Amino acid sequence: MNSLLRPAVTLLAAMTLVTGVAYPLAVTAIAQVAFPTQAGGSLVRDDSGQVRGSALIAQGFEGERWFQPRPSAGAFATVSSSASNLATTNPALAERVKADAAKLAGQGDGPVPLALVTTSGSGLDPDLPPQAALWQARRIAAARGMNVEAVEQLVQAQVRSPLVGPPTVNVLALNLALEQATTP
């Protein structure tokens, strides 16, 4: 019995050290050297160096003066990161989307973009399609006393085209650019 137990316990301890300690430490060290910004959380800082958020995680913005991200099923709390898990046939999803669309109706030209009334898979997607950001330009221009074209130019300047997938606009970066554009 002891001849079977000792190798099993030794192998368990060795594999725990390799896969639970050595490998994570090695990956973390390599990431810190190769990708320091991303490994540090992709923090976004303002001109004074203060952390304003992360480029990887959406956050809510209050008021008519700001671009709004996609809705979050978990109120933008990273602990409860998840989608609403409501099926397309669930009446609760249809009611929530209708209520959100009614709140946004009239703030832009045309129908409310789907990205502004549906949550992402994680509930924390920091990006919007450029069309959803442009749709909000009229409301923001009116709230800030700006020219609509100037707000639209800010959006266009923030459009990023990834290697894979459609172009996107990071809402936090866009709101920081908007703040800089309107701060004397």
Residues 63 and 151 in one domain: yes
- pLDDT (mean) for 15-22: 95
Domain that residue 51 falls in: 42-182
Q: What is the pLDDT of residues 60-89, one digit of tens each?
A: 888 889 999 888 777 777 766 666 677 778
pLDDT score of 164: 93
Residues 117 and 89 in one domain: yes
State which H helix or E strand residue 170 sits in: strand 168-170
What three-state secondary structure class fits 151? helix
Residues 84 and 172 in one domain: yes
pTM: 0.75
Question: What is the rounded distance in angstroms from the CA atom of residue 125 to the CA atom of residue 123?
Answer: 6
Residues 22 and 88 in one domain: no
Residues 31 and 52 in one domain: no
Q: What is the pLDDT of residues 130-183, one digit of tens each?
A: 999 999 999 999 999 899 999 999 999 999 999 999 999 999 999 999 988 876
What three-state secondary structure class fits 128? strand
Find the angle CA(96)-CA(98)-CA(103) to the nearest 5 degrees.
Answer: 95
